[in-house]
C-alpha cells in the first residue's frame, strides 16, 4: 500500500513537472512566434537575405551608319579589406608586390593595407573609431590589364585583396568630333556629364540602377526556393547622329592641314545637307582628346560652332542680294557704280578691296564689291533688308542640341543707325555663329526653304529596340519669285569661275556655288587691320547640292583672304566628299576644261583691255602733266623776260 502511494505521488509530481515544463515551452513558443515574431523574423531575414545592386549601361553614341563614337568599355578596380590583410610583415611584402605590378608608390599601398581603423563623426557629433574595411588600391584599370593582374595577384596569394569589374566611358575615335560629343567625369560613383551631347542628352542616356533581393545559401548563391524580388537595371538610350564618320574624318584631316599651313588661332568647318538640315560633319580646332584627361585644355572644350560669333563679312552679300532679287528691286543685269573703290555714305568711307567701276549685280557678287552691295541694300530699304536677314535665320538660334548656343548679334530694326543699312549686307555690325551661317546657306541652296539643323537623327531604346526618329521639318520657301533661286545660284557660281574671288575653290567637272568672306575683327572698339576671319562657304553641285560646306580660319597668318585661306580646303574637302558620295560630275571633264579655259581667256582679255586703258589713262595724265609743266615754265620765262625788259 505504502509503495503504491509513493508511486502515485511520484507520478503526480512528474505530471506537474511535465506540465510546468510544457507550460514554459508553450509560453516561450508564444513569445518567439507571436510576441517577438517581427523582430526575430527581421533578424533572421537579415542574416540570410542579400541585396545585390547592378547598374545598367549608359547610352552610347553612334554615327548615322552605326559606327561607335562613344561607348562603354569594361575596366576593373582593385581594392582591399585592411582587416583581412594579416601581419605587418605580410602587408609589407604585399605592398612591395602590388606597387611593382600596379606601378604605384609602395608606401602608399602599405598605408592602405595597414590602416585598419577609421575615426568618424556620428550624427550626434561624437567621434568614434570603426573598422575600415575598404580602401581603393587602383581604379579604372584597362580590362586586359585587369584580367592579367587578377590572375597574378591571386597566384601570389595576397590576403584581403578584392576585384570588381565596372565600366568606363570610352571615346574610340579620340579627337574625332570631340567637341560635339563632349565628355563625362566621375564624381565618386556618379557619372557627371560636362559638355556636348553627353550633357544635352544626359537625362536620356543615364542608366537606371537595378536591385535584386534574395535569400542566399552559405556560399552566397540565391536559394532555389527562396524569395527573390527583382528591380531590373535599365540601359540608357542610344543616340544615332546625323554625322557620317568618313566625312567627319575627311573634314578633320583637312582642317589639320589648314592649321599647319595658315596657323590660325582657331578654325572650324561644317558640312550640312541643305534639304534635311542634317549636319554631316563638323570639326573645330583647337580640340581635345577625351581619352587623355591629363593634357586636356579647357580652352579647347568650347563648342565654337555654337557658342562663338563672328562678323561674317562678304558671306552675307548673297543673302541680301537674294532678298533684293526676290523683291524685284534689282535684276542680275542692273548696274551700279562702284565708285572706283571709295564711297562716302553717312559721313563714313566705305571701301572695296580693289577699285571697281560700273558693275552688274552678278559682277558685284563675283567681285565681292562692298559699295555695290551697300547700294543694292539702300534700294531695298531698311525694313526689307531686316526682314530678309531675319527670314534667313539671323538673330535666331538654330536649335541644335548643344548648350549654350548663341543667337548672334542682330539689332532690332528700331535700333539701326544710318550706317547699318550699308554695313549689315556686307557682314559688318552683325555677328552670327557658324551654324547660323550654314543654315542660311542651306536655304540659299535648297530654294529658300527654312531648315532646322539636325545633329541627332534617331534615339534607340536598346532594351526594346524601339527607335524614335527625330522629325525633319520642311517649311515653305521664303522666296516670292520662282526665279530668285536660279538667279542667285548663277551669281554664286561665278565666284568660283575665272574672274571671281575664289577660283581656287573651283572643282573640276562641277559647278560650285559659293562666296568668300574676309572680315576684319572688331577689337577694342575698332576694326583691326591685322586680324581677320577668312571664310569660304559654298555648295556642290550648285544646281542640285549634296552638301553645304563652311570653312573658316580665325586670325590666319600670312594670307588672310577667304578665297586664298579657306578656298583650297573647301575644294579638297568637297572633292573628297563628292567621291565618297559617288556624285558624278555635272559635265564632261573635257567640256569643263574647255569652258574654264575660254572663261579664263576672256577674263585675261578683259584684264588686258583694262590694263591698256589704264596705261593709256596714265600716259594721258603724264602728257597733261608735262604740258602743264611746260606751259607753267614758259609763263614764268615770259614773266622773267618782261621783268628784265622793264
Interaction site with another protein (CB under 8 A)? 4, 67-68, 71-74, 143-144, 165, 167, 170, 172-176, 217, 219, 221-225, 245-246, 249-250, 252-253, 509, 576, 579, 582, 584-585, 589
Q: How far is the CB of 599 from another protein (least distance, A)?
A: 21
- Helices 317-327 and 434-446 sit at what angle, rounded to 10 degrees? 40
Q: How far is the CB of 459 from another protein (least distance, A)?
A: 20
Q: Which residues contact 16 (CB under 8 A, 6 or more apart)?
A: none
The DSSP code sequence of 347-388 is: TEEEE-SS---EEEHHHHHHHT-HHHHHHHHHHH-HHHHHHH
Closest listed residue to residue 435, CA positions, set 569, 580, 284, 263 = 284
Residue 144, C-alpha cell as written in the block:
586586359
Q: How far is the CB of 580 from another protein (least distance, A)?
A: 9
* Residues paired with residue 128 on neighbouring β-strands, in sequence order: 120
Burial category of 439 from C-beta neighbours within 10 Å (exposed 0-12, middle 13-18, buried 19 and up): buried
Q: How far is the CB of 554 from another protein (least distance, A)?
A: 23
User: Which lies closer to another protein via its Cβ, residue 62 or residue 441?
Assistant: 62
User: Which lies closer to another protein via its Cβ, residue 4 or residue 34?
Assistant: 4
Instruction: Using alpha carbons, list the distances in angstroms from residue 2 to 11, 14, 27, 369, 466.
Output: 14, 18, 37, 143, 95
User: Which lies closer to another protein via its Cβ, residue 225 or residue 643?
Assistant: 225
H or E element that contains 300: helix 298-301
Q: How far is the CB of 172 from another protein (least distance, A)?
A: 4
Residue 612, C-alpha cell as written in the block:
591698256
User: Which lies closer to another protein via its Cβ, residue 404 or residue 584?
Assistant: 584
**Cα pseudo-dihedral 282, 286, 291, 297, rounded to 10:** -140
User: Which lies closer to another protein via its Cβ, residue 81 or residue 145?
Assistant: 145
| Contact in structure between 513 and 542 (CB atoms under 8 Å) | yes
Q: How close are the terminal C-alpha atoms of the chain, in Å?
A: 198
Q: How far is the CB of 225 from another protein (least distance, A)?
A: 8
Q: How far is the CB of 223 from another protein (least distance, A)?
A: 8
3-class SS at 106?
Answer: helix
Q: How far is the CB of 574 from another protein (least distance, A)?
A: 13
Q: Which residues contact 371 (CB under 8 A, 6 or more apart)?
A: 336, 338, 339, 341, 343, 350, 351, 352, 356
Closest listed residue to residue 198, CA positions, set 159, 242, 237 = 237
User: Which lies closer to another protein via its Cβ, residue 111 or residue 150?
Assistant: 150
Q: How far is the CB of 265 from another protein (least distance, A)?
A: 23
Q: How far is the CB of 51 from another protein (least distance, A)?
A: 17
Q: How far is the CB of 556 from another protein (least distance, A)?
A: 24
User: Which lies closer to another protein via its Cβ, residue 144 or residue 232?
Assistant: 144
The Cα 34–Cα 129 span in angstroms is 38
Q: How far is the CB of 579 from another protein (least distance, A)?
A: 6
Residue 368, C-alpha cell as written in the block:
565681292
Q: How far is the CB of 506 from another protein (least distance, A)?
A: 16
Buried b or exposed e, range 10-32, using 16+ CB within 10 angstroms = eeeeeeeeeeeeeeeeeeeeeee
Residue 570, C-alpha cell as written in the block:
573647301
User: Which lies closer to another protein via its Cβ, residue 223 or residue 475?
Assistant: 223
The Cα 59–Cα 198 span in angstroms is 9
Q: Which residues contact 167 (CB under 8 A, 6 or more apart)?
A: 57, 72, 73, 74, 75
User: Which lies closer to another protein via its Cβ, residue 221 or residue 622?
Assistant: 221
* CB neighbourhood size of 75 (10 A): 17
| Contact in structure between 417 and 447 (CB atoms under 8 Å) | no
User: Which lies closer to another protein via its Cβ, residue 425 or residue 541?
Assistant: 541
User: Which lies closer to another protein via its Cβ, residue 594 or residue 610?
Assistant: 594
User: Which lies closer to another protein via its Cβ, residue 21 or residue 594?
Assistant: 594
Q: How far is the CB of 463 from another protein (least distance, A)?
A: 15
User: Which lies closer to another protein via its Cβ, residue 174 or residue 633?
Assistant: 174
Residue 141, C-alpha cell as written in the block:
584599370
Phi, psi of 531 (to 5 degrees): -110, 125
User: Which lies closer to another protein via its Cβ, residue 4 or residue 9?
Assistant: 4
Can you list the alpha helix ranges (DSSP code H) found in 458-561? 483-495
Amino acid at each position: 500500500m505504502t509503495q503504491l502511494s509513493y508511486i502515485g505521488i511520484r507520478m503526480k509530481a512528474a505530471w506537474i513537472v511535465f506540465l510546468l515544463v510544457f507550460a514554459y515551452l508553450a509560453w516561450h513558443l508564444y513569445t518567439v512566434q507571436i510576441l517577438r515574431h517581427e523582430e526575430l523574423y527581421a533578424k533572421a531575414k537579415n542574416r540570410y537575405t542579400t541585396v545585390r545592386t547592378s547598374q545598367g549601361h549608359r547610352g552610347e553614341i553612334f554615327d548615322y551608319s552605326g559606327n561607335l563614337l562613344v561607348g562603354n568599355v569594361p575596366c576593373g578596380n582593385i581594392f582591399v579589406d585592411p582587416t583581412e590583410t594579416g601581419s605587418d610583415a605580410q602587408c609589407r611584402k604585399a605592398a612591395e608586390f602590388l606597387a611593382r605590378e600596379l606601378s604605384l608608390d609602395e608606401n602608399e599601398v602599405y598605408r592602405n593595407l595597414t590602416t585598419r581603423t577609421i575615426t568618424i563623426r556620428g550624427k550626434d557629433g561624437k567621434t568614434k573609431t570603426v573598422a575600415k574595411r575598404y580602401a581603393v588600391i587602383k581604379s579604372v584599370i584597362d580590362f586586359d590589364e585587369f584580367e592579367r593582374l587578377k590572375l597574378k595577384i591571386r597566384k601570389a596569394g595576397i590576403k584581403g585583396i578584392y576585384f570588381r569589374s565596372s565600366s568606363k566611358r570610352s571615346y574610340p575615335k579620340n579627337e574625332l568630333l570631340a567637341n560635339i560629343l563632349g565628355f563625362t567625369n566621375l564624381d565618386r560613383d556618379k557619372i557627371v556629364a560636362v559638355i556636348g551631347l553627353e550633357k544635352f542628352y544626359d537625362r536620356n542616356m543615364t542608366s537606371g540602377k537595378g536591385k535584386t533581393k534574395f535569400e542566399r545559401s552559405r556560399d552566397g548563391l540565391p536559394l532555389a526556393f527562396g524569395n527573390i524580388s527583382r528591380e531590373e537595371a535599365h540601359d540608357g538610350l542610344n543616340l544615332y547622329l546625323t554625322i557620317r564618320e568618313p566625312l567627319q574624318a575627311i573634314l578633320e584631316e583637312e582642317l589639320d592641314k589648314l592649321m599647319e599651313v595658315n596657323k590660325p588661332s582657331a578654325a572650324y568647318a561644317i558640312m550640312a545637307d541643305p534639304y534635311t538640315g542634317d549636319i554631316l560633319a563638323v570639326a573645330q580646332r583647337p580640340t581635345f582628346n577625351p581619352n587623355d584627361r591629363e593634357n586636356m585644355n579647357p580652352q579647347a572644350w568650347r563648342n565654337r560652332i555654337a557658342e562663338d560669333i563672328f562678323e561674317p563679312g562678304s558671306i552675307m552679300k548673297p543673302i541680301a542680294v537674294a532678298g533684293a532679287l526676290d523683291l524685284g528691286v534689282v535684276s542680275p543685269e542692273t548696274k551700279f557704280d562702284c565708285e572706283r573703290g571709295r564711297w562716302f555714305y553717312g559721313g563714313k568711307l566705305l571701301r572695296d578691296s580693289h577699285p571697281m567701276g560700273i558693275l552688274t549685280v552678278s559682277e558685284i557678287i563675283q567681285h565681292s564689291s562692298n559699295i555695290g552691295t551697300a547700294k543694292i541694300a539702300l534700294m531695298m530699304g531698311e525694313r526689307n533688308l531686316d526682314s530678309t536677314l531675319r527670314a534667313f535665320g539671323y538673330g535666331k538660334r538654330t536649335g541644335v542640341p548643344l548648350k549654350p548656343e548663341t543667337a548672334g548679334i542682330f539689332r532690332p530694326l528700331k535700333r539701326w543707325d544710318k550706317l547699318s543699312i550699308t554695313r549689315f549686307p556686307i557682314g559688318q555690325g552683325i555677328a552670327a555663329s557658324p551654324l547660323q551661317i550654314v543654315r542660311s546657306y542651306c536655304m540659299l541652296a535648297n530654294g529658300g526653304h527654312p531648315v532646322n539643323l539636325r545633329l541627332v537623327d534617331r534615339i534607340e531604346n536598346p532594351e526594346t529596340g524601339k527607335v524614335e526618329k527625330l522629325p525633319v521639318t520642311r517649311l515653305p520657301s521664303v522666296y516670292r519669285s520662282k526665279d530668285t533661286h536660279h538667279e542667285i545660284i548663277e551669281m554664286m557660281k561665278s565666284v568660283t569661275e575665272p574672274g571671281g574671288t575664289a577660283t581656287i575653290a573651283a572643282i573640276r567637272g562641277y559647278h560650285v556655288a559659293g562666296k568668300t568672306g574676309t572680315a576684319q575683327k572688331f577689337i577694342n572698339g575698332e576694326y583691326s587691320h591685322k586680324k581677320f576671319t577668312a571664310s569660304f562657304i559654298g555648295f556642290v553641285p550648285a544646281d542640285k547640292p549634296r552638301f553645304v560646306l563652311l570653312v573658316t580660319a580665325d586670325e590666319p597668318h600670312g594670307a588672310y583672304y577667304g578665297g586664298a585661306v579657306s578656298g583650297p580646303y573647301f575644294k579638297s574637302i568637297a572633292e573628297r566628299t563628292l567621291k565618297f558620295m559617288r556624285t558624278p560630275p555635272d559635265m564632261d571633264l573635257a567640256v569643263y576644261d574647255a569652258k574654264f579655259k575660254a572663261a579664263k581667256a576672256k577674263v585675261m582679255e578683259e584684264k588686258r583691255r583694262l590694263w591698256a586703258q589704264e596705261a593709256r589713262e596714265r600716259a594721258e595724265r603724264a602728257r597733261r602733266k608735262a604740258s602743264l609743266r611746260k606751259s607753267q615754265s614758259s609763263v614764268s620765262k615770259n614773266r622773267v623776260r618782261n621783268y628784265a625788259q622793264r
